[in-house]
Amino acid sequence: MTSAVACNSDELLAILMSREIRDWEISACGAVSMIPAAALLLAEASHAPNAEIIILGSEQLDRNLGKDIHFLSQRGKLDLFFHSAIQFDAEGNFNLHVVGDPNAPDLRLPGGYGSGLMSYTAKRILFFRTEHTKRTFVPKVDFVSGAMVTPPSIKRPQEAFKIFTTMAVLSFDRAANRYGLESVHEGFTAQQVQDNTGFELGDISNVPVTPPPTDEEVGTLRTEVKERMIETGTYPQWAKTILQPA
């Protein structure tokens, strides 16, 4: 059943991304990943009770894997990983290092590890961004932290990647070598999404509407998931303030 309850943007992204998490697979998120943590726990509480979930930085759900998670991913056995970025470009590159001239940046970001390694080897990457604008979706990123498209000689276990925003879901079409619109959220048109994206999204004449959050998803997120985040030391302050009362 479709929910009449309005979600905030963090809740919306957590719900939409939770649907991508599959039962029996291994899915993980890195540090400072509140929305992915909620998505993982929502999936576990609903359609993926046997999923292995790893929430780095959580007091109880971190699993203390250290380098094991790195090597799991290098072996191609990490099924899903979450990532965010400050910029995404037409060619499948993303930037989590600097905004502006890399030698004299306007802004420095954490960059590094997940961008250059985890995003290469996890089978599916879910990117997420709460801002969908032309400063986020640019023709060419200021700095390439991760290249999701590399020559065929660079073998990687990667299967697919998508970007979830507050307006739409963009998925990369490897055959056409560009992003397309997988679906557009209720309240927006495909043209609005294109107008806020700094590169071409291809044919936008027949884009489906993203199935909106259901009452059940919203309810589980705001009760079971919220409680579990608080009791396991998984961004408890975020859970208390961002996830709304049931």
HSE toward the beta carbon, residue 138, CA cutoff 13 A: 16
Pairing mode of beta strands 80-84, 52-55: unpaired
CB of 207 to another protein, least distance (A): 29
In the list 33, 87, 93, 234, the residue contacting another protein (rule: CB under 8 A) is 93
Q: How far is CA 54 from CA 1, 7, 20, 26, 69, in A?
A: 30, 25, 15, 8, 9
CB of 76 to another protein, least distance (A): 8
| Residue 71 CB contacts under 8 Å (≥ 6 apart), including other chains | none
Residue 99 binding another protein, by CB under 8 A: no
Binding mask 148-187 for another protein (x = CB under 8 A): -xxx-xxxx-------------------------------
CB of 77 to another protein, least distance (A): 12
220 near 42, Cβ under 8 Å? yes
Residue 120 binding another protein, by CB under 8 A: yes
Reading across the β-sheet that carries 160-165, which strands appear in turn? 52-55, 26-29, 80-84, 124-129, 160-165, 168-173, 178-184
149 near 179, Cβ under 8 Å? no
> Which among 117, 47, 53 is positioned nearest to 80, based on CA atoms?
53
| Residue 154 CB contacts under 8 Å (≥ 6 apart), including other chains | none
In the list 49, 100, 102, 187, the residue contacting another protein (rule: CB under 8 A) is 102
Compare residues 105 and 219 and give the one whose CB is closer to another protein: 105
Using CB under 8 A, count the residues that bind another protein. 28
In the list 145, 197, 232, 234, the residue contacting another protein (rule: CB under 8 A) is 145
HSE toward the beta carbon, residue 167, CA cutoff 13 A: 19
In the list 5, 99, 144, 160, the residue contacting another protein (rule: CB under 8 A) is 144
Residue 30 binding another protein, by CB under 8 A: no
CB of 102 to another protein, least distance (A): 7
Residue 97 binding another protein, by CB under 8 A: yes
- State both tokens at 70: 């790195």
In the list 35, 44, 83, 146, the residue contacting another protein (rule: CB under 8 A) is 146
Residue 143 binding another protein, by CB under 8 A: yes
Residue 116 binding another protein, by CB under 8 A: yes
Q: Which residues bind to another protein, rule: CB under 8 A?
A: 64, 66-67, 74, 93, 97, 102, 111-112, 115-121, 143-147, 149-151, 153-156
